[in-house]
Amino acid sequence: MSINGNANTEVTDATPLLSNQSRSKGASFASSVFNLMNAIMGSGILGLAYAMASTGIVGFCVLLVLVSSLAGYSIHLLLKLCDQTGINSYEDLGGRALQKPGKVLVAVAILIQNVGAMSSYLFILKSELPAAITSFLSPDQSGQTWYQDGRLLLILITLCVILPLAILPKIGFLGYTSSLAFFFMLYFAIVVVVKKWSIPCPLPQNVTTFLGVYQVSNSSDSDCTPKLFVISSRLLSGGLRRGRKLKGQACLSHKLTPSKARMQNVTNVSISLSFLVYLVSALFGYLTFYAHVDSELLLGYDAYMPRDILVMTVRLAILIAVLLTVPLIHFPARKATILLLRGNRPFSWPIHITTTVVILGTVLMLAIFVPDIRNVFGVVGSTTSSCLLFVFPGIFYLKIGRQPLPSFDSVGAMALVVFGLIMGIISFSIIIFTWIQSS
C-alpha cells in the first residue's frame, strides 16, 4: 500500500523502509481499501456459483470463512512483524528472516504469481471482449471487423489503457480505478440477485443463443432444491481454486502501511466487503441454476435471457473490472523485478519505464501466443499463492517474532505453514490429475 511522508505525496517503487516521518501518514483509507479489494476480486467471481454447486451452500461458506479468516490472520502476523522491525516491504521481511535467499524467494514468488495473473486476465480479455462488444450490435450485422479480433483489441487496450496506468510510479492513484472496478463487481452481484426470479426452474433444454447451443439435460423439479453440503469430485477443485482468490492480500502486502492498526482496518474492511460480494454472487447464482450452473455464470444467462441488456452490460462491466486490475497487480511485479536486478537503489525513471514495458510486453506475448496460459499458471499459482498467503508469513513470524513458541501467535504461525503446504499440494495434485484425466 502507499506510504508517504506528508498528505500530498505518495510512495513510489523506490521507497524501501519506513522512517519515522513516513509513519505519519499514508494513502487515503478508501484508496487502500479499494486497491486491496481489487487485488482480491477479479474474473474468479464468475465461477463462485459453480464452486457452491460443487461444495454445497454450507460447504462453500465454511471454505470461504476458513480461507478469509486465515488470510486476515496472515496479514495480522505480517503487520506485527513490520511494527516490530520497522520494515515495510514483504521482500525485506524475507531478507530479515532468511537472509538474501529469503528476499529473492519472496520477490520471485511475487513476480511469478502476478505475471501469471496478468497473463490470465489478458487472455480472458482476448477471448471474451470481442463477443461482449458484438452482443451490443445488430444480429443481422455480418462480416469480420477490427473489434472482433481479440488480439488486436488486446494490443490496443494494453497500449491505450493498461500501459499509461501501469507506468505511474504511485499506487495511490490506482485507488480511483480500483473503486470503479469494485462498483462493477457490486453491479454484477446486484444483477445476479435480480435475475434470480427471471429464469424458471426446472430449466428448459437445448436453448440456442447467439453464442451457440447451450444444453441442459435431465433437469427436473428435484434439481430445484438447494444442496447444503456436496461431496463430489468437484469439491476440492471447485472450492480450493476459488478460495485462493483471496491471495490478493499477500500480493499487495509487499508494500505495507505505516500504521499497523490502520492497515489492519484496511484488511478487515476489504476482506469483509469482498466476502459479502462473493457470498451474494455465489448464493443467488447457484439458486438460479442449481446443479446446472456453468463454470462461467454469465453463459447461463446468455442462454436463457439472450440479448438481455442487464446481462450484456454486466458482462462488459466485469471485463472492464478485469482490465483495471492488471495495472494494480503489475505494481508489485515491477517492484519485485527491480529489487531482484538493482536491490534498494534510488528510484530511476529509465529503469522504471524499461521494466514496465518489458513486463507488459512479456505478459502480452504470453496472452496472445500461449493457448493454454491459464492452465500453465494454474499450476504455478497453486504453489506461489499458498506460499505468499500462508507459508511465508508463518515462517517469517517464527523466525523474526519475539513471542515464545507456546504463544498463540507462534502456534498460529505454525498452523498457517501447515495449512499452506497442504493447500498447495492438494491444489497442485488436483490440477495435474485433471490434466491426466482429460487427456
DSSP 296: S
pLDDT reported for residue 259: 65
The rounded distance, in Å, linking the Cα atoms of 159 and 334 is 17
Query: What sign does the CA torsion over 423, 396, 170, 13 have?
Result: negative
* Domain span holding position 151: 3-438
HSE-CB at 97 with a 13 A cutoff on CA atoms is: 28
The rounded distance, in Å, linking the Cα atoms of 429 and 150 is 32
pLDDT reported for residue 353: 95
pLDDT reported for residue 24: 36
**Which of 390, 36, 414, 96 minimizes the C-alpha distance to 243?**
390
CATH number at residue 294: 1.20.1740.10
- pTM listed for this prediction: 0.82
pLDDT reported for residue 186: 94
Q: How many other C-beta atoms can be found within 10 angstroms of the C-beta atom of residue 434?
A: 14
Instruction: Output the CA angle 37-179-173, nearest 5 degrees.
Output: 100
Nearby residues of 127 by Cβ (< 8 Å), 6 or more positions away = 150
3-state secondary structure of 294: coil
Report the domain count for the chain.
Answer: 1
Per-block mean pLDDT, blocks of 10 residues, the chain (439 long): 33 34 52 83 82 88 88 89 86 91 92 89 89 77 74 94 92 86 94 89 59 52 76 51 43 48 84 91 92 83 83 92 93 92 88 96 91 67 83 93 82 92 83 75
The rounded distance, in Å, linking the Cα atoms of 435 and 439 is 6
Q: How many other C-beta atoms can be found within 10 angstroms of the C-beta atom of residue 119?
A: 23
